[in-house]
Amino acid sequence: MSIAVTGASGRLGSFVIDALVERGVSPTDIVAITRTPEGVKFRDRAVTVRRADYDDPASLDLAFRGVERLLIVPGTEVGRRVVQHENVIAAAKRAWVGCIVYTSRLGAQLSDLRIAEEHRQTELALVRSGIPSTILRNGLHLDTYMERAPQHVERGEVVGGVGRVTAAHRRDHAEAAAAAIMTPWAGRVYELGGPTFTLAEYAEELSRISGEPVVFRRLEGDALREELIARGVPGAQAAHEAELDAAISRGVLETDSAEFVQLIGHQPMSLREALREALAPKATAA
Ligand SMILES: NC(=O)c1ccc[n+]([C@@H]2O[C@H](COP(=O)([O-])OP(=O)(O)OC[C@H]3O[C@@H](n4cnc5c(N)ncnc54)[C@H](OP(=O)(O)O)[C@@H]3O)[C@@H](O)[C@H]2O)c1
pLDDT along the chain (286 residues), means of 10: 96 96 96 93 88 98 98 95 98 97 94 89 97 96 93 95 95 97 86 93 96 96 95 92 93 90 94 92 52
- Quickly count: other Cβ atoms within 10 Å of residue 217's Cβ: 12
What are residue 102's DSSP bridge partners?
72, 135
Give the Cα separation of 183 and 61 in Å (integer).
24
Structural domain includes residue 235? yes
Residues 50 and 131 in one domain: yes
Ligand 1 atom nearest to 105, measured from its CA: 1
Question: What is the predicted pLDDT for the residue at 32?
Answer: 97
User: Can you point out the beta strands (E) in the chain?
Assistant: 3-5, 30-34, 48-51, 69-72, 99-105, 133-138, 140-141, 157-160, 164-168, 189-192, 196-198, 215-218
Task: Report the separation in Å between the CA atom of 74 and the middle of ligand 1, taken as the mean of its atom positions.
Answer: 6
Domain for residue 264, yes or no?
no
State the residue range of the domain holding 147: 142-166+195-253+269-282
Domain match, 157 and 34 both: no
Whose C-alpha lies nearest to ligand 1, atom 24? 7
Residue 263 resides in a domain: no
pLDDT of residue 249: 92
Q: What is the pLDDT of residue 45?
A: 81
The confidence score (pLDDT) of residue 256 equals 87
The minimum-distance atom of ligand 1 relative to the CA of 80 is 31
Instruction: Report the pLDDT value the prediction gives residue 120, as an integer from 0 to 100.
Output: 96
The DSSP output letter for 169 is -
Q: Are residues 111 and 157 in the same domain?
A: no
Please report the pLDDT score of residue 112 as a whole number.
82
Tell me the whole-structure pTM to 2 decimals. 0.94
Residue 103 and residue 244 in one domain = no
pLDDT of residue 283: 47
- Which of left, alpha, beta for 124 (phi over 0: left; psi -120 to 50: alpha)? alpha
Q: How far is the CA of 7 from the centre of ligand 1 (A)?
A: 6
Residue 247 lies in a domain: yes
